[in-house]
Amino acid sequence: MKFPGYGHAIGDEVLKEIAMRLERAIRKEDTIARLGGDEFAVVMESLKEAEGTMHCVQRLNAAFKEPVIVGDAQFVLSASIGISLYPQNGTDAHTLLRNADTAMFKAKEAGRGTFQFYVEEMTRYAVERARMEADLREAVERGELELHYQPQISLKDGHVVGFESLVRWRHPELGGLAPDQFIALAEDSGLILPLGEWVLRTACRQVTQWYSEGKNPGRVAVNISACQLGDYSLLDVVRTVLRETGCRPEWLELELTESSIMTRTQQAVSVMSELREVGVQLAIDDFGTGYSSLAYLRQLPIAKLKIDSSFIRDVSENEVDAAIVRAVIALGKTLNLQVIAEGVETCEQEDLLRAEGCDVVQGYYYSRALPAAEAGEFLRQEQHHSTKAVTSEPESLS
């Protein structure tokens, strides 16, 4: 379990607390061991088939419900659980462990706090995964990655105020792959660092080019993974890339997910403050899904909240979602933060967001993420129309 910037002492304390909670969650006759790093194994004998297993999984997961507090740092953790059953999935310890491990990786991919039973196809999957990792290692050099750009539109005047950059992978055999199919792998393997640097450099180069062509793309937003935020070199990378590409800091925005900030609170704040000092704008991505405390939010050097698309999806029909969206917008206003809604697909959603005072929108209703050339064209057309409509308005970064 790594908490860069916190040192081993804190990591050890977190592990101890988790180990204690897990011990409390299992039965007297069960065995628990730490396999290394942040991996634990639990051996449970004579369970009553799936039902008993499910009950145990729930108890183990419940151990992660409350954040772990060490000193004044708070860690929101979750477990990915892989399960192998005796004798169906193996008759010796080695095979059972290996298959549980494979199932755990599958669980990790499915998202935080999930579990998976081992099934035979997973072995094939584990082999594929290893191959994919080897391929991804070379993807950057082979020029297989591509960056697409999704416009962000101001609800005030309909202008494009920025683009979110979203990575795609043209795999030589598998064809076009969406980030969901390889970002988790990149994070697990550490490949996210070179990949993230490529994305940052490409986005900065692109936005600089647009400005040099006389276009006004606003800001380009780049997604930053938790692992990148947990690495102090992020700051150097950002500075170097800005210098090398000629990109001005105010043309760049970094999107950090709420959960990545909340699991690395202290360090995240210090890295974020320095980024802010460089002049780069920061946004919280997937806002509403990561349990941030309000006291905390106030201290963060951020400019923007990005409401998670899960709240936008049914906002027109679902009262609870509408209430959450309303609350986030009000919160943004109070804290003097811009609020952007993503995943906007319909006119009804737009109407509601506008009525509530949301500043910026992004979603299929306006445009999908586009290859650079098409995004440039989108910008050209939009600005062509808007200069016809409002000739007096000076072009400026909002």
- DSSP of 206-267, one letter per residue? HHHHHHHTT----EEEEEE-HHHHT-THHHHHHHHHHHHHT--GGGEEEEEEHHHHHTTHHH
Q: For the chain, how many residues are written? A: 398
Query: In terms of CB distance, is 89 or 223 closer to Ca ion?
Result: 223
Q: Which residue has the tokens 């007297």?
A: 28
Query: In terms of CB distance, is 232 or 364 closer to ligand C2E?
Result: 364
* Candidates 52-60, 201-209, 219-227, 371-379; binding stretch for Ca ion (CB under 5 A): 219-227
Residues 167/147, Cβ–Cβ less than 8 Å: yes
Helices 265-278/233-245 angle, 10° precision: 20
* Candidates 32-40, 103-111, 336-344, 388-396; binding stretch for ligand C2E (CB under 6 A): 336-344
Query: In terms of CB distance, is 53 or 181 closer to ligand C2E?
Result: 181
Q: Does 255 bind Ca ion (CB under 5 A)?
A: yes
Q: Does 234 bind ligand C2E (CB under 6 A)?
A: no
Single-letter amino acid, residue 27: R
Q: Does 284 bind ligand C2E (CB under 6 A)?
A: no
What is the longest distance spanned by two Cα atoms in the chain?
A: 77
Q: Does 166 bind ligand C2E (CB under 6 A)?
A: yes
Q: Which residues of 87-117 are buried (b: 16+ CB within 10 A; e: fewer)?
A: eebbeeeeebbbbbbbbbbbbbbeeeebbbb
User: With CB cut-offs between 5 and 8 Å by kind, which of ligand C2E, Ca ion, none does residue 150 bind?
Assistant: ligand C2E
Query: In terms of CB distance, is 253 or 356 closer to Ca ion?
Result: 253
* Candidates 29-37, 45-53, 173-181, 267-275; binding stretch for ligand C2E (CB under 6 A): 173-181
| Gap between the Cα atoms of 287 and 117, Å rounded | 31
* Candidates 64-72, 74-82, 193-201, 220-228; binding stretch for Ca ion (CB under 5 A): 220-228
List 89, 150, 267, 281, residue binding ligand C2E (CB under 6 A): 150
| Gap between the Cα atoms of 234 and 252, Å rounded | 14
Residues 312/325, Cβ–Cβ less than 8 Å: yes
Site string for Ca ion, 34-73 (x = CB under 5 A): ----------------------------------------
Residue 342: CB partners within 8 Å, gap ≥ 6? 164, 306, 307, 308, 309, 312, 361, 362, 363
Q: Does 355 bind ligand C2E (CB under 6 A)?
A: no
Q: Which residues bind ligand C2E (CB under 6 A)?
A: 150, 166-167, 178-180, 183, 196, 199, 223, 225, 285-286, 342-345, 363-364, 369
Q: Which residues bind Ca ion (CB under 5 A)?
A: 223, 255, 285-286
